[in-house]
Amino acid sequence: MKAITVTASTRPEIVKMAPVIRALQKHSIPFTFVQSGQHYDRNMSQQFIEELELPTPDYGNEVRTSSQAEQTAQVMTYMEKLLERVTSSLVLVEGDTNAVLATALAAVKLAVPVGHVEAGLRSFDIHTPEEHNRRLTDHISTFLYTPTATSKTNLERENVWGKIYITGNTVIDAVVQHLPIAENKSRIMQKIPFKEFALATAHRAENVDDITVLKDFIAAFHEAPIPIVCPMHPRTKKRLKQNGISTDNGNVQVLPPLGYLDFLVLMKNCRMIITDSGGMQEEATAPCIRKPVLVIRRSTERPEAVAAGFAKIAGTQKSLILQAMETTLKNTGQLPLTSPYGDGDAAERICATLENLGFG
């Protein structure tokens, strides 16, 4: 029987692979679950696996380096050795991290086909490492699972050789499956002293490693027209400390890294989301969340969220972020009732393609 290797390394990958893993279990498709190691902090990975009640990974790797080249090389070496021992007819990867590219490269070098979940996203900003990773992964994948027609068009324009399927994004599946559980289990709102607040996150290297941008983010949060709740990514915390930037301000509540269920509840209860995260741009469009998003970047690989009216690219300058917040607060128009990223059945569609390929 054909077997699949399912890999995940970061919190977004774990969240977006969770519905796929459940669908594989439902359809009795055998798989090996590998935590490929880009995030070794328990709060960044294992906590999510436990909260989502996923099976314990069959194999796990820990990468303890901040160098992108070393990170990619370590994951590639680990996955090559693992795939030489584990029988696999297909490796499923999700997203655009260094670990995703490293895993895909290790697989194709061993002639193991790759299925790329969330294929075809493009920011058209070559300065971001994620853009390198997603483009390269798409061009060496045999099966490409795209969330939207736009992402399919991107792949067709680039003449990828793999087979393309439009499935929707599994992140909507994850929100639909987990928000009811989150609202029942999470107690995070008991820690929030504000009646109305904006949920803010920042972690991308091109932002937090740039001291000018990082200072603008914190200054904008301090001067924001509504209070800011900011779960702090370890990378961001490290850069703030290194540069002597203080977050102390009555308008900002800094929280430690949170589990997925707490994050869902904060998204559900906030007034708006301010983020450089791609996944949160998608999650905000889920019918049970439906929140406006200010993207604190120069570009986004989620243009569908912008076109639908959920997201706005605010840039990275303090004045632009504050202006975008004011505009959002004044806008009383209703957001769309449906998500451009699907109806919550993406994982089932992916499994259907696998069954047609002889898995299960």
For 84-96, the pLDDT digits (tens) are 999 999 999 999 9
The answer as to whether 177 is a domain residue is no
The reply to whether 88 and 61 lie within a common domain is: yes
The reply to whether 158 and 189 lie within a common domain is: no
Structural domain total, the chain:
2
The answer to whether residues 145 and 115 touch, using CB atoms and an 8 Å cutoff, is yes
Q: Is 203 a catalytic residue?
A: yes
The reply to whether 225 and 92 lie within a common domain is: no
The answer as to whether 175 is a domain residue is no
The reply to whether 148 and 239 lie within a common domain is: no
For residues 126 and 34, what is the distance between their CA atoms, to the nearest angstrom?
29
The answer as to whether 335 is a domain residue is no
pLDDT score of 331 more than 60: yes
The reply to whether 299 and 244 lie within a common domain is: yes
- For 185-225, how does the pLDDT look when each residue is reduced to its tens digit (9 = 90+)? 999 999 999 999 999 999 998 999 999 999 999 999 999 99
The single residue of 27, 132, 139, 203 carrying the catalytic annotation is 203
The reply to whether 208 and 151 lie within a common domain is: no
pLDDT score of 235 more than 90: no
Q: 252-288 in b/e burial notation, b at 16+ Cβ within 10 A?
A: bbbeebbbbbbbbbbbbbbbbbbbbbbbbbbbbbbeb
CATH number at residue 289: 3.40.50.2000
The reply to whether 119 and 63 lie within a common domain is: yes
For residues 273 and 267, what is the distance between their CA atoms, to the nearest angstrom?
7
The reply to whether 350 and 314 lie within a common domain is: no
The reply to whether 80 and 227 lie within a common domain is: no
- For 134-160, how does the pLDDT look when each residue is reduced to its tens digit (9 = 90+)? 999 999 999 999 999 999 999 999 999
The reply to whether 231 and 158 lie within a common domain is: no
The reply to whether 324 and 199 lie within a common domain is: yes
The reply to whether 142 and 204 lie within a common domain is: no
The model carries a pTM of 0.93
> Which structural domain range is residue 212 located in?
184-330
Give the residue, 331 or 32, on which the prediction is more confident.
32
Q: Could you tell me the pLDDT band of residue 315, with boundaries at 50, 70 and 90?
A: very high
Residue 281: its pLDDT value, please?
Answer: 97
